[in-house]
Amino acid sequence: MTDPHAQPHPDAGAVQPIRWEDDRLLLLDQRVLPFEETYLACDTGAEVARAIADMVVRGAPAIGVTAAYGVVLAARRRYGEDAEGWRAALTQDLAVLAAARPTAVNLGWALDRMGRLAADLEGDPVAALLAEARRMHAEDIAANRAMGEAGAALMAGGSGVLTHCNTGSLATGGYGTALGVIRSAWRAGKLARVFADETRPWLQGARLTAWELTRDGIPVTLLADGAAAYLMHQGEVQWVVVGADRIAANGDVANKIGTYGLAVAARHHGVNVMVVAPTSTVDMAMASGHEVPIETRDPAEVLGCGGRPVAAPGAAAWNPVFDVTPAELIDAIVTERGVVRAPNAERMRRMMGAG
């Protein structure tokens, strides 16, 4: 009998959604997955900002890495136009990139890091900035690998897990945050079942998470977002495992809309909640989740599905794309620096200071 856990090494045929090739940035267009695998080429910082705003690339760490390459493109153009005044001109590009999406703090984190480096460079800045973007990209993958192991270690054998949105290779530099934990736990033979919310309105779960997991040979069962509480009631899941777009200093977590509802339902049913995110997602300048800017997108995304209208003409729609889960509903936050159980301000401070 074949052991389903012994199937292809998870992430073996890893997808590379962010590629620097022939002096340009190639982004796997996540709007058309899983049915089309096409790359969008970006040659300027403005094109990168548009690709982030339009969801060609999405997921907090992936947005940060993409923006870093966007700074390389912007600096190349500015330096070509004016080898003396390029640094001042670059600040405009940094502002355009920063405005692309408001909630994922990885975007500002990556731009600050690239901007600080740019301020100190003499001569042609491209090689040094590209090396830094590549370094950020590699660091994110390494962080995901570490979090994968640390998160999987928290789970008992035979666990059922439910995840939300897409937090895999597509949403990060590679491997994934919550999906990295699921990959590692699956490989360790700890998971009985993997469930994924379809994640309306962009269907990141149905289109992207299911695509990644099936490519890895990890069986996944999709459910409508509204079915999650009933799944917990059935005793099918022991862990809800999600990513984050911004974690405040007190451990409150902003993540894909629906995460808060999952955490409330999980507490009611005695299901554990694990948030998996690199420290580039932690915003110690934000005291609590109340301060996190929550992106609201076009109502048309709710009024339609896959570009086709589904709602009765004349209906309005509210489309916040993130929500905030209070720290008290979270059992563990897993970062590359360690695990914070029952997060609060003091424990978060200790973890962030730890290295």
256 near ligand MRU (CB under 6 A) = yes
How many Cβ atoms from other residues are within 10 Å of residue 32's Cβ? 13
Q: What are phi and psi of 214, to 5 degrees?
A: -65, -35
Q: Which residue has the tokens 């070509």?
A: 80
Q: Least distance from C-beta 285 to ligand MRU, angstroms?
A: 19
Active site residues per annotation = 245
Of residues 159 and 209, the one with the C-beta less far from ligand MRU: 209
Query: Which CB, 155 or 208, lies closer to ligand MRU?
Result: 208
Q: Is 245 in the site for ligand MRU (CB under 6 A)?
A: yes
Q: Which residue is it, tokens 């090739």?
A: 21
> Of 184 and 204, which CB lies nearer to ligand MRU in the complex structure?
204
- Does position 243 interact with ligand MRU (CB under 6 A)? The reply is yes
Do 203 and 308 form a contact (C-beta atoms < 8 A)?
no
In angstroms, what is the minimal distance from the CB of 31 to ligand MRU? Answer: 11
Considering only 172, 209, 238, 280, the residue that binds ligand MRU (CB under 6 A) is 172
Question: DSSP assignment, residue 294?
Answer: P
- Per-residue binding string, ligand MRU, 90-119, x by CB under 6 A, is --------------x---------------
Is the distance from CB of 113 to CB of 97 less than 8 angstroms? no
By residue count, the chain amounts to: 355
How many DSSP H helices and E strands does the chain contain? 11, 16
171 binds ligand MRU per the rule CB under 6 A: yes
| Span from 58-66, 92-100, 121-129, 330-338 in contact with ligand MRU (CB under 6 A) | 58-66
Among 48, 58, 86, 216, binds ligand MRU (CB under 6 A): 58
Q: Which stretch binds ligand MRU (CB under 6 A): 92-100, 129-137, 240-248, 263-271?
A: 240-248
Six token digits for residue 166 = 């897409």
Question: At its nearest, how many Å lie between ligand MRU and the CB of residue 241?
Answer: 11
Among 118, 231, 244, 274, binds ligand MRU (CB under 6 A): 244
Query: Of 38-46, 167-175, 298-306, 325-333, which part binds ligand MRU (CB under 6 A)?
Result: 167-175
Given 66, 159, 177, 280, the residue binding ligand MRU (CB under 6 A): 177
Q: According to CB under 6 A, which one of 167, 209, 280, 335 is a site residue for ligand MRU?
A: 167
Using the minimum distance from each CB to ligand MRU, give the nearer residue, 76 or 336. 336
Decide whether 172 or 272 has the Cβ nearer to ligand MRU: 172
Interface with ligand MRU includes 61 (CB under 6 A)?
Answer: yes
Q: According to the binding rule CB under 6 A, does residue 262 interact with ligand MRU?
A: no
Please give the torsion angle defined by the CA atoms of residues 332, 145, 351 and 196, in that order, rounded to the nearest 10 degrees: -20
- What is the rounded (10 degree) CA torsion for 12, 180, 45, 202? 100
Q: Which is nearer to ligand MRU, 59 or 343 (CB)?
A: 59
- Which region holds residue 173: left if phi is over 0, alpha if psi is between -120 and 50, else beta? alpha
Helices (H), the chain: 45-53, 60-81, 86-98, 105-120, 126-153, 178-187, 210-215, 228-233, 259-269, 300-303, 345-353
Please give the Cα distance from 201 to 305 (Å, whole number). Answer: 7
Neighbours of 326 (CB within 10 A): 18
CB of 255 to ligand MRU, least distance (A): 5
Strand order in the sheet with 338-341: 221-223, 191-197, 159-163, 239-242, 272-276, 332-335, 338-341
Q: Which is nearer to ligand MRU, 97 or 129 (CB)?
A: 97
Task: Quickly tell me which residue has 């009985």 as its tokens.
Answer: 192
Which residues 204-223 are close enough to bind ligand MRU by CB under 6 A?
204
Q: Give residues in contact with ligand MRU (CB under 6 A).
A: 58-61, 104, 165, 167, 171-172, 177, 204, 243-245, 255-256, 321
